[in-house]
Amino acid sequence: MRKKISIHDIARHLNVSATTVSFVLNGRAEEMRIGAEVKKRVLDYAETTNYRPNLVAKSLRTGKSRIIGMMVEDISDPFFASIARGIERKAYQLGYKIFFASTENQTSNAGDLIKVFRERQVDSYIIAPPPGIASEIQALIEHEHPVILFDRYFPDLETTNVIVDNYNGTRKATDHLRSNGSSQIGFVTLESAQTQMHDRLQGYLHAIAQWGQAPCILQLPYALPANSSVEKIKAFIRQHKEMDGILFGTNYLAFSGLEAINELGRKIPDDLAVVSFDDSRFFRLFTPPVSAVAQPLEKIAETIISLLMKSLDTPASKRCVETIVLETEFIVRKSSLKRKKTPSRTR
């Protein structure tokens, strides 16, 4: 096993100092007045020996790791996975690496992760925060680490946030149900006081208030197993016979909901129309396809990274905080041609 070569090995071999090698390899040869010939010899030797800098050493010396710590609820959740993927792509291009981690939306997990990240000298953070972690985030900012919150945020905290317009998302979705014939619209959401769910709830409430409908809401605990969700949604549907439209607060709630509706033998959309907040590639595959409020995943990732880079380029003292609100898109899906072609096909 040939050992890894260091800057000192190069220096020794060429009879120059490590400093010179460092300057050359960092492209500071001119600035530091290193002769053209020495420069060439260093470059050539580094090339032939396939020298790779030890970034751990570099980090220790410079205090910057070029590592981003990213914490989300669950990296295997399609929403977070997509955003993570987008961020990954852009970060790598910029020479940054990412530690991804899942909080399960637990305060304690997030707290532990922040500690671990700090030990590892992570120098910036992208966080979809769980409740109760505001003070730790505040501490990160006080330590001058760039922090971007996304998906949800703390209104009391002066952070840079990237979110979507949840309020108008559910509002448009509710209006859509109404204008497509539903008069009693239910909302199935999470028992969560976090901003994203709060705003979605408000959007729904304000929408139904327009035509004077009373709220009809089911709030499920976070991380409820899918089969329990299905049961609770079934009970909810049974209890509200008058309900002829349902809006789901997340796509996985919608999946449980579709299953519940299916099991109850209700017909979509004739018995019960369905719309989901947060799109999924699967909605178009259902019969009938499901309309949804799509979040601009690529745009979210892009915005997060560009704000983060801006923050990294700015001294802590003059970083400005801002909350970027991205628009959602309402995707209307009607039954495909099949439905029209064979309206009375038996199943």
Partner DNA sequence: TTATTTTACTTTATCGATTTAGCAAAACTG
Partner DNA sequence: CAGTTTTGCTAAATCGATAAAGTAAAATAA
| Residues at the contact surface with a second copy, assessed by CB under 8 A | 1-2, 4, 52-57, 59-60, 65, 74-76, 78, 81-82, 84-85, 88-89, 92, 97-102, 115-116, 118-121, 142-144, 226, 255, 258-259, 262-263, 265, 267, 281-282, 284-287, 316, 336-339, 341-347
State how far the alpha carbon of 209 is from the alpha carbons of 47, 110, 236, in Å: 70, 37, 21
Distance CA 57, CA 51 (A): 14
Taking the least distance from each CB to a second copy, the nearer of 11 and 258 is: 258
Helices (H), 33-164: 36-48, 55-62, 78-93, 107-119, 134-142
Give the pairing of strands 291-294 and 329-331: antiparallel
Task: Choose the one of a second copy, DNA, none that binds residue 241, judging by a C-beta under 5 to 8 angstroms depending on kind.
Answer: none
Q: Which of 200, 133, 124, 194 is nearest to 160 (CA)?
A: 124
- Report in angstroms how near the CB of residue 115 gets to a second copy at its nearest: 7
- Report in angstroms how near the CB of residue 277 gets to a second copy at its nearest: 18
- Report in angstroms how near the CB of residue 69 gets to a second copy at its nearest: 10
- Report in angstroms how near the CB of residue 41 gets to DNA at its nearest: 9
Q: Exposed, middle or buried by CB within 10 Å (0-12, 13-18, 19+), for 159?
A: buried
Q: Name residues whose C-beta falls within 8 Å of residue 65's C-beta, 6 or more positions apart in sequence.
A: 55, 59, 120, 121, 122, 123
Taking the least distance from each CB to a second copy, the nearer of 118 and 206 is: 118
Task: Choose the one of a second copy, DNA, none that binds residue 17, judging by a C-beta under 5 to 8 angstroms depending on kind.
Answer: DNA
Residues that bind DNA (CB under 7 A): 4, 6-8, 15-20, 22-23, 25-26, 32-35, 37-38, 53-54, 57-58, 60-63
State how far the alpha carbon of 308 is from the alpha carbons of 7, 84, 134, 143, in Å: 32, 14, 19, 16
Task: Choose the one of a second copy, DNA, none that binds residue 40, judging by a C-beta under 5 to 8 angstroms depending on kind.
Answer: none
Taking the least distance from each CB to DNA, the nearer of 96 and 236 is: 96
Distance CA 322, CA 211 (A): 35
Task: Choose the one of DNA, a second copy, none that binds residue 15, judging by a C-beta under 5 to 8 angstroms depending on kind.
Answer: DNA
Task: Choose the one of DNA, a second copy, none that binds residue 89, judging by a C-beta under 5 to 8 angstroms depending on kind.
Answer: a second copy
Q: Which residues make beta-bridge pairs with 104? A: none
Taking the least distance from each CB to a second copy, the nearer of 84 and 162 is: 84
DSSP-based three-state secondary structure for 74: coil
Name the amino acid, one letter, at 154.
F
> In this structure, are residues 22 and 49 in contact, taking their beta carbons and an 8 Å threshold?
no
- Report in angstroms how near the CB of residue 57 gets to a second copy at its nearest: 5
Sheet holding 185-190, edge to edge: 217-220, 185-190, 245-248, 273-277, 291-294, 329-331
Task: Choose the one of DNA, a second copy, none that binds residue 35, judging by a C-beta under 5 to 8 angstroms depending on kind.
Answer: DNA
- Report in angstroms how near the CB of residue 345 gets to a second copy at its nearest: 6
Taking the least distance from each CB to a second copy, the nearer of 193 and 285 is: 285
Taking the least distance from each CB to DNA, the nearer of 59 and 219 is: 59
Task: Choose the one of a second copy, DNA, none that binds residue 97, judging by a C-beta under 5 to 8 angstroms depending on kind.
Answer: a second copy
Q: Which of 224, 272, 288 is nearest to 250 (CA)?
A: 224
- Report in angstroms how near the CB of residue 35 gets to DNA at its nearest: 2
- Report in angstroms how near the CB of residue 235 gets to a second copy at its nearest: 18
